[in-house]
């Protein structure tokens, strides 16, 4: 189903929809442009946060690098040998490094076995056993300075620098202990005045917060510890927004933050600057809120404007629509009101002129219609009279034709009886006399009498055939099938034509007029085949149905054009076909002749059998 189907039914809604859509597209374009601008602002804010995190990380790298240089100076002082008895210069170097560095937990010197040679100050150092501090083994193995993560248990951080003798051989390490709880270490992170929710955190490679400008966060697992550990390992900086879960007062609080992270290069640590998104992107959020309000007002005003424009157009059109409906209902008397001088007003004026012209035209048409109806009525009465006359004449013609055919059949019967009773009997008597004469006549007359006897015999046969053609006794004695079979065999088999005779249905005697009509039609068709068809085979089918009887005669002869033969009346064949049609029509039957040159001929006649049909000759 089309969701905009309602627009086809209302011009008001279509105009409102189109104008409103245009204004909405414009508002959407402006909103997209503003959103793109706000995204640019957001990107700049995030880029500034990332740059700030990188700057803080670089500062911490600088501080750690400077303190590692102090330890490197001590390592250079120890090149002369850690095991020398006079280590006063070395202790002085350790003392100076302790006072100048951030290693508030102390500075220590270990030999290559991890045994402590000296520490400064002696009382404060709580160095674990070398086997418990993998950092020392790593420095001795790699020969490079190392800085540890937060050591579990003691909450300390260690930095070590390998010591090499004058031959370059590793002979020990010098290191320092950092106390994350000391004020000197906490001063590494200076609070940034970016807002009330901004705080900095220093996170080690295990995701543990080493220092934070937010109270209560030191030594806690970072809520993004796994992600930050991966960033520290990859030495990769990121910036973006995230959700962080905090437990404050036992009530979980969900807030969206902006976080910028930068790893340190010297130590496996990283710096994160975190701030609530609503504060960090306050300007962007404000712009979006204003855009939403402005966009909403724009949409509402656009729809109101579209509705007003549509109303100004559809209201006069509604008046025209009502007027058109009145005219469609046949009310042409009520005028169309004036609707101004604009295009719609001119259309209303033109429409009213059309109403007046239509009113005049309808009056003229009504008058012409009345006159036409009068003439049609007169013509109809005349046609009805002529039809009755024609029908009467047709009935008279049919009755006359029926009487003619009946008279013909009666005359045939009379002639056949006279030939049978008089001529045939006379010839038979003559034949008997000739046979008697032959027996008693002299020899010289016998030959002449024999020839006379043969001539009388042939004449008697011809008279018998003539009697059968005029009125076959088989038709009266045995019925249609036997008479028609005898006629077909007598006319066709003598010509060498293959005959197929079939009777279907329950064979029974029919009313005399039906049998006579079908016999005469079949006799005419068989006679035409014998005289004109040049056929090799003929098929005759008589079908006795419940309410009708059908006769079909089909040959494979040369065929003809039935219409042309009937119109031209060639050789009497056309008259024969017309006679067949007239005989079938008298019994309300149907005769169809199908033929074409070279395709044979089929004659099909069907005569209905009605109850109460009186016998009579045809």
Report the Cα–Cα distance between both ends of the chain, in Å, rounded.
73
In percent, the amount of the chain with pLDDT more than 70 equals 82
Instruction: Examine the pLDDT at 604 and tell me if it is beyond 90.
Output: yes
Residue 109's pLDDT is what? 87
Which residues contact residue 319 at a Cβ distance below 8 angstroms, ignoring those fewer than 6 apart? 336, 337, 339, 348
Global pTM reads 0.47
Helix 573-586 / helix 512-528 crossing angle, nearest 10 deg: 160
Question: What average pLDDT does range 558-569 have in this prediction?
Answer: 76
| Helix, strand or coil, per DSSP, at residue 118 | strand
pLDDT surpassing 50 at residue 79: yes
| 234, 524, 588 from 616: Cα distances, Å | 125, 21, 16
**pLDDT tens track for 430-460:** 767 777 777 677 777 777 777 777 787 777 6
- So what's the pLDDT on residue 401? 60
Helix (H, G, I), strand (E, B) or coil at 215: coil
Q: What is the C-alpha to C-alpha distance for residues 451 and 455, in angstroms, rounded to an integer? A: 6
Can you say whether the dihedral through the CA atoms of 117, 120, 126, 127 is positive or negative?
negative
Length of the chain: 618
Proportion of the chain above pLDDT 90, given as a percent: 16
Per-residue pLDDT band at 269 (split at 50, 70, 90): very high
How many CB atoms within 10 Å of residue 157?
A: 23
Mean pLDDT of 407-411: 66
For range 315-320, the mean pLDDT: 75
Q: pLDDT at position 214, please? A: 86
Render pLDDT for 516-531 as a digit per residue (tens, 0 to 9).
889 889 988 998 898 8
What does the pLDDT look like over 283-313, one tens digit per residue? 777 777 777 787 778 778 877 877 777 777 7
> Buried b vs exposed e over 15-40: b needs ≥16 C-beta within 10 Å?
bbbebbeebbeebeeebeebeeebee
Q: In the predicted model, what is the mean pLDDT of the chain?
A: 80
State the Cα–Cα distance between residues 185 and 211, nearest whole angstrom.
8
Alpha-carbon torsion angle 454, 460, 464, 466, nearest 10: 100
pLDDT of residue 110: 87
Mean pLDDT of 215-240: 87
- How far, in Å, CA of 318 to CA of 324, rounded? 10
Collapsing DSSP states into helix, strand and coil, what is residue 409? helix
d(CA 439, CA 433): 10
Across 144-150, average pLDDT: 90
* In 221-335, alpha helices (H): 225-234, 277-280, 282-328
Cα–Cα nearest to 205, from 178, 190, 227: 227
pLDDT at 246: 45
pLDDT surpassing 60 at residue 570: no
> 421 pLDDT band (50/70/90 cuts)?
low
Q: Assess whether pLDDT exceeds 60 at residue 463.
A: yes
pLDDT band at 160 (very low <50, low <70, confident <90, very high): very high
Q: Taking 60 as the threshold, does the pLDDT of residue 166 lie above it?
A: yes
Task: Give dist(CA 147, CA 139) in Å, integer.
Answer: 9
pLDDT of residue 247: 40
Lowest mean pLDDT among 224-238, 383-397, 429-443: 429-443
Residues 6+ positions from 430 with CB-CB distance below 8 Å: 456
Q: Check whether 327 has a pLDDT greater than 50.
A: yes
Instruction: Extract the tokens encoding 291.
Output: 């855009």
Q: Are strands 498-505 and 537-544 parallel, antiparallel or unpaired?
A: parallel
pLDDT score recorded for residue 486: 87
Find out whether 43 and 132 touch, Cβ atoms under 8 Å: no
What is residue 250's predicted lDDT score, i.e. its pLDDT? Answer: 43
């Amino acid at each position: 189903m089309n969701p905009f189907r309602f627009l086809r039914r209302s011009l008001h809604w279509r105009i409102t929809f189109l104008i409103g859509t245009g204004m909405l597209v414009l508002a959407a374009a402006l909103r997209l442009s503003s959103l793109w601008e706000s995204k640019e602002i957001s990107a700049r804010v995030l880029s500034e946060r990332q740059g700030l995190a990188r700057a803080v990380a670089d500062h911490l790298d600088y501080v750690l690098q400077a303190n590692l240089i102090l330890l490197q100076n001590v390592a250079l002082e120890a090149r002369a040998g850690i095991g020398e008895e006079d280590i006063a210069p070395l202790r002085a170097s350790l003392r100076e490094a302790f006072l100048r560095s951030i290693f508030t937990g102390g500075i220590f010197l270990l030999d290559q076995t991890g045994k402590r040679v000296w520490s400064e100050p002696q009382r404060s150092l709580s160095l674990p056993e070398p086997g418990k501090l993998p950092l020392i083994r790593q420095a001795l193995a790699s020969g490079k300075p190392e800085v540890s993560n937060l050591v579990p248990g003691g909450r300390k951080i260690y930095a070590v620098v390998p010591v090499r003798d004058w031959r370059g051989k590793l002979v020990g390490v010098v290191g320092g202990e950092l106390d994350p709880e000391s004020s000197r270490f906490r001063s590494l992170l200076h609070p940034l005045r970016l807002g009330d929710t901004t705080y900095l955190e220093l996170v080690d490679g295990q995701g543990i917060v080493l220092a934070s400008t937010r109270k209560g966060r030191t030594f806690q697992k970072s809520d993004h510890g796994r992600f930050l550990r991966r960033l520290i390992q990859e030495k990769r900086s990121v910036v973006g927004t995230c959700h962080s879960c905090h437990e404050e007062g036992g009530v979980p609080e969900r807030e969206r933050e902006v976080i910028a992270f930068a790893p340190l290069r010297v130590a496996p640590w990283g710096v994160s600057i975190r701030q609530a998104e609503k504060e960090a992107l306050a300007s962007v959020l404000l712009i979006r809120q204003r855009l939403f309000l402005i966009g909403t007002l724009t949409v509402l005003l656009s729809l109101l404007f579209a509705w007003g424009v549509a109303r100004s157009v559809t209201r006069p059109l509604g008046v025209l629509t009502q007027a058109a409906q009145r005219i469609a209902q046949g009310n042409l008397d009520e005028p169309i009101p004036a609707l101004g001088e604009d295009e719609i007003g001119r259309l209303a004026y033109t429409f009213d002129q059309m109403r007046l012209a239509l009113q005049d035209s309808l009056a003229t048409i009504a008058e012409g219609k009345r006159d036409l109806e009068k003439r049609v009525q007169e013509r109809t009465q005349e046609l009805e009279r002529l039809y009755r006359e024609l029908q009467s004449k047709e009935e008279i013609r049919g009755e006359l034709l029926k009487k003619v055919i009946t008279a013909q059949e009666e005359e045939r019967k009379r002639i056949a009886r006279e030939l049978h009773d008089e001529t045939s009997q006379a010839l038979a008597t003559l034949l008997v006399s000739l046979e008697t004469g032959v027996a008693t006549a002299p020899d010289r007359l016998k030959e002449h009498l024999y020839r006379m006897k043969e001539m009388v015999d042939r004449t008697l046969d011809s008279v018998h055939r003539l009697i059968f053609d005029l009125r076959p006794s088989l038709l009266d004695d045995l019925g249609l099938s036997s008479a028609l079979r005898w006629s077909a065999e007598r006319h066709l088999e003598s010509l060498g034509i293959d005959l197929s005779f079939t009777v279907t249905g329950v064979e029974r005697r029919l009313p005399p007029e039906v049998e006579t009509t079908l016999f005469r039609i079949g006799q005419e068709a068989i006679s035409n085949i014998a005289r004109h068809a040049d056929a090799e085979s003929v098929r005759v089918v008589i079908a006795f149905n419940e309410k009708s009887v059908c006769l079909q005669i089909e040959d494979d002869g040369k065929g003809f054009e039935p219409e042309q033969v009937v119109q031209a009346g060639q050789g009497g064949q056309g008259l024969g076909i017309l006679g067949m049609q007239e005989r079938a029509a008298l019994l309300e039957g149907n005769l169809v002749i199908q033929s074409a040159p070279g395709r044979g001929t089929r004659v099909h006649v069907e005569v209905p059998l009605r109850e109460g049909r009186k016998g009579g000759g045809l």
